[in-house]
């Protein structure tokens, strides 16, 4: 089983994920834009028990997702980088692919919340786009 690892910018926070993600998503919601300083967050979704913090202790910022359930953002209190968000309604972590050491080992399979995207957003080719969250995705 493959194990990938990643870290924040300063290295105080390190994590690993095991196996393949259940989904790989470009999320263009307003919250993701704010947190990334970009048009989207590239999240690889891993079941809760496949994500592990291996070094350091993340600071946690909790907000309500579109579902009304908590989203717990895990970020480094030193450099400010968010490495993952726990999506409590789906029992998974949305791991920031940009923080993986091998970010190119994953590609997006869908784009969501594109109705919230800025006019200058860039979309991946050949990937389905959804204005909001597709049904039954639980996030």
Shortest reach from residue 139's CB to Zn ion, in Å: 8
Q: What residues contact 119, with CB distance under 8 A and at least 6 apart?
A: none
Q: Least distance to Zn ion from the beta carbon of 5, Å?
A: 15
State the greatest distance between any 2 C-alpha atoms of the chain, in Å, as a whole number: 40
* Closer CB to Zn ion, 42 or 51, in the complex: 42
Phi/psi region, residue 19 (left: phi>0; alpha: psi -120 to 50; beta: rest), is left
Residues that bind Zn ion (CB under 5 A): 8, 10, 12, 27, 29, 32, 76, 78-79
In the complex, which residue's CB is closest to Zn ion? 76
Q: Which is nearer to Zn ion, 19 or 132 (CB)?
A: 132
Toward Zn ion, which CB reaches closer, 2 or 135? 135
Edge-to-edge strand list for the sheet holding 3-7: 3-7, 14-18, 51-55
The kind and range of the H/E element at 54 are strand 51-55
Nearer to Zn ion by Cβ, of 17 and 32: the residue is 32
CB of 31 to Zn ion, least distance (A): 5
């Amino acid at each position: 089983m493959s194990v990938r690892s990643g870290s924040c910018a300063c290295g105080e926070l390190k994590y690993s994920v095991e196996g393949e993600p259940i989904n790989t998503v470009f999320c263009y919601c307003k919250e993701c834009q704010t947190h990334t300083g970009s048009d989207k967050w590239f999240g690889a979704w891993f079941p809760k028990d496949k994500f592990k913090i291996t070094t350091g202790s993340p600071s946690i910022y909790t907000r309500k997702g579109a579902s009304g359930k908590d989203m717990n953002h895990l970020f480094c209190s030193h450099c400010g980088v968010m490495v993952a968000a726990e999506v409590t309604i789906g029992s998974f972590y949305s791991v920031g692919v940009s923080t993986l050491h091998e970010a190119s080992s994953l590609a997006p399979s869908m784009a969501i919340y594109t109705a919230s995207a800025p006019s200058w957003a860039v979309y991946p080719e050949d990937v389905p786009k959804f204005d909001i969250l597709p049904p039954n995705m639980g996030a």
